[in-house]
Amino acid sequence: MAAAAGTARQEGAAPRVGLLYDQRMLAHAPALNTEKETPERLRAIWRKLAAEGVTSRCVGMRAKEAKEKYIASVHARKHVDLIRKISSKDSSDLKKTAKKFDSVYFSKGSSESAFLAAGSVIEVAEKVAAGELSSAIALVRPPGHHAEHSHPMGYCLFNNVAIAANYLLNERPDLGINKILIVDWDVHHGNGTQNMFYNDPRVLFFSVHRYGYGSFYPYEADASHVFIGDETGRGYNINVPWEHAKCGDADYVAAWDHVLLPVAEAFDPDIILLSAGFDAALGDDMGDCCITPNGYALLLTKLLGFAKGRIVMALEGGYNPESIANSVCACAKVLLGDKFTLNSPEMQPFESTWRVIQMVRDELKTYWPVLSSKLPENVSLRSTPSYIQVNFLFLFSSSWGLELGPAWSDLRLMNCALMYEMWIALFQIRLLGNLTPSSLTFHQHVMTTVAAFKPHS
């Protein structure tokens, strides 16, 4: 199916799109080529943008380091001190320190790169909020959305988007930014960003990500749809957790049309900060999903109807150089006002996608009545590939450290829908009983629950 699309800009002058790229952020580099997050990611993007004539059409910007006080507004002082001092260590100390954290590396250029990345997102967000730019793209690294209050994580040293959001809300009230929509379309859950704004109704956080019943990085339960915020922030945290790999354009468009866009309209943000990871792109083996460059362009186009088109894209993940370059280029052209035609290899969402969307809507409808209506019926859906179901069986057992034994044959009889219902039951047992996955009590609950959900002949 092909659909024409264009930007939702005001009539008149051509959009002023900021494009920030700085070679100094290439200095953060792994000692070995075993890491996925490398400087080549930025180089590939820049080559593509230059070849397509995009760089000359944008307002070029140079990075500047964030002030420590702005970083410390969302990160613990010991965290800020660690990153500031890390590059003064010798190589053996760098490796030793990195091993204390989850999926992190350090190099001689890490300190400067991290401060530049945070400062870059502040810089472009400020200019978009002030009306100096209509939108902007910050090509930054290291990425940020996994970084927690007190520690780096998942290739992320500082949480760049969270720092920029806090800056707009608390340091620049004169800009009139009172409500921020953060959209995280990276294939991994934005755990750090979620935790930083979990109680804050000024920030609507939306993350769509692979989850796989807790078997996909960062392997945390709070990526589930039942985590919706707390205190005055209840309802302002939205997770759309995919059950499996291979989700593509149709699945993401469905999440936009039936969750994100209705809530965004009700929320009415003043600006949108986009944690733009591209590891859900077709060809990226880390995410193993299937969003095409035009799929990303369509998702971005749908967001331009909000906040007067004031969107700041901050690069997060994406580890296939060709895929990330093509996807960023497609998004840049959308911001510049180019039209495109969506030619997707599939325009039917998975049946699991429809189920997840319904569960998300049910969880949030008390807070967002616009989600109370029924989803369209008689929608053409794709069935979940059988190999994904088989893979889930392994992931289900390995991620929770379970020896399934005789329950294995019972699990094989279940379809994904039944598995998901069973998983929710187990998840609730785990939470209510405060049980660890490896505990004997929880293992007994697993055996009992599997037997209860087993299809009867």
Active site residues: 146
Question: 3-class DSSP state for residue 419?
Answer: helix
Distance CA 367, CA 213 (A): 25
Take residue 365 and report the two structure tokens written for it.
């409808």
Return the number of other C-beta atoms located less than 10 Å from residue 139's C-beta. 24
Take residue 199 and report the two structure tokens written for it.
């109680």
Question: Strand 59-61 to strand 180-184: parallel, antiparallel, or no bridges (unpaired)?
Answer: unpaired
The residue type of 340 is F
Residue from 150, 151, 212, 218 nearest 184 by CA: 218
Return the number of other C-beta atoms located less than 10 Å from residue 81's C-beta. 13
Distance CA 207, CA 262 (A): 15
CB 44, CB 337: distance < 8 Å: no
CB 117, CB 158: distance < 8 Å: yes
Residue from 72, 28, 20 nearest 46 by CA: 20
Question: Strand 271-276 to strand 311-315: parallel, antiparallel, or no bridges (unpaired)?
Answer: parallel
Question: 3-class DSSP state for residue 32?
Answer: coil
Across 229-245, b (16+ Cβ under 10 Å) vs e yields beeebebbbbbbbbbbb
Distance CA 366, CA 351 (A): 25
Distance CA 262, CA 35 (A): 39
The dihedral formed by the CA atoms of 416, 418, 420 and 423, expressed in degrees to the nearest 10: -130
